[in-house]
Structure 1
């Protein structure tokens, strides 16, 4: 038989029932009383953007930029094109690798400071992709260096008459422009979700510091009312 005790605390009546360990209800109460692990929601909004996937895209495109930069630099060392001479392929590729690594790390760590860092680097990616798109677009419309209109006693090099080299160069620049647009979209998505997360985190800090009434962190449990019929509650605790 289960022992039952009744305790009156003001207008609240507490009924406690002691259940033996052999009772099947004891196992159910024990499993239900375990508190779930506390999960931090500081960067939950940012994780909805799947930063690991976005970071992987940045890392992949960064490696592609660096590889293209090495190949074009070696092939055009004597007469570099505008993208090679500007070094856009290397510094944008490094920036993408840094941004991608931070985004992948933000998937593992719940850190608002890391989210802010991702937003700052994403601003650099946005500006870098815009500059890179302009440089590649100029290279597509520009005459190959060394093939400008010759003087009176000068002749164009024979390789200038080969249109296949210009078509190949334009194709590479077009591919890099498409990759730049992809990187731009990814960076804008990171900024959108990151800004919303940082704004909510900042607002939560202000509310906690100010102690505004109604804040769930500072809220106190309501006192029992002295009016009205007494309430009854039953709790079952295994011995």
Structure 2
């Protein structure tokens, strides 16, 4: 039987009822008052969102569009004697990879899905390797002459643009700009990978404890 006590305090009457554990109402109160347990996935994704994946994804999308646009322009302008970055197609496949990475990062801001975080980690690992390769290609292009302007034979005629110093300056300027972009993309990918790996590791630990 429940015990009831009545207390008067400052014109307010407080009625306290103690319900024993065997009372059926105790089970109803316990089930109704307990807050719902947070899902495991939301906990891990919340940690990943500390990296601001939407902002990181926007950077990748923006730089990816720049890579593809310049890739089209340089491919058209250098169709006869393409430079090393243009011949390798790095501006296109790196640009597409950045668009994919950026889209996944922006989408991870909206969805509580640990699988999406794992996919972001894999794609950003590819971005890290690709930016290193792209940096190597652009720096190699800076240290070499413009294609078609090398002296293979003493009587070989050079193209007219080979005698213009502004052409090499412009080419080096573009390659230097892409090296800076690659450095930015590399840092963004490392940040996304670090936070993503931390979230995935916590997810595995939580599953083991449960």
TM, length-normalised to structure 1: 0.73
Cα gap change, 1:116/1:136 in structure 2, threshold over 3 Å: closer, same or farther?
same
- Secondary structure of the corresponding residue to residue 109 of structure 2: helix
- How far off is 1:79 after superposition? 0.8
Ranked by relative contact order (alpha carbons within 8 Å, sequence separation 6 or more), the top structure is: 1
- Aligned pairs for 1:24-173 (under 5 A) are 40-173=42-175
Distance in structure 2 (CA, Å) of the matches to 1:86 and 1:8: 78
- How far off is 1:158 after superposition? 2.1
Deviates most, 35-44 or 168-177: 35-44
Distance in structure 2 (CA, Å) of the matches to 1:82 and 1:92: 15
Aligned: 1:9 with 2:20: yes
Cα gap change, 1:86/1:6 in structure 2, threshold over 3 Å: closer, same or farther?
closer
Unaligned ranges ≥5, structure 2: 1-11, 22-32
Equivalences, count: 189
Q: Deviations over 1:113-171 (max 9, x none)?
A: 00000000000000000000000000000011111114243222222101111110100
From the two aligned structures, give the one with the greater helix fraction.
2
Distance in structure 1 (CA, Å) of the matches to 2:113 and 2:191: 18
Report the structure number with the largest CA radius of gyration. 1
Match of 1:184 among 158, 183, 186: 186
Conserved in 2, the CA contact under 8 Å of 1:51 and 1:104? Answer: yes
Query: What is the alpha-carbon root mean square deviation over aligned residues?
Result: 2.7
Conserved in 2, the CA contact under 8 Å of 1:79 and 1:146? Answer: yes
Unaligned ranges ≥5, structure 1: 11-32, 209-239
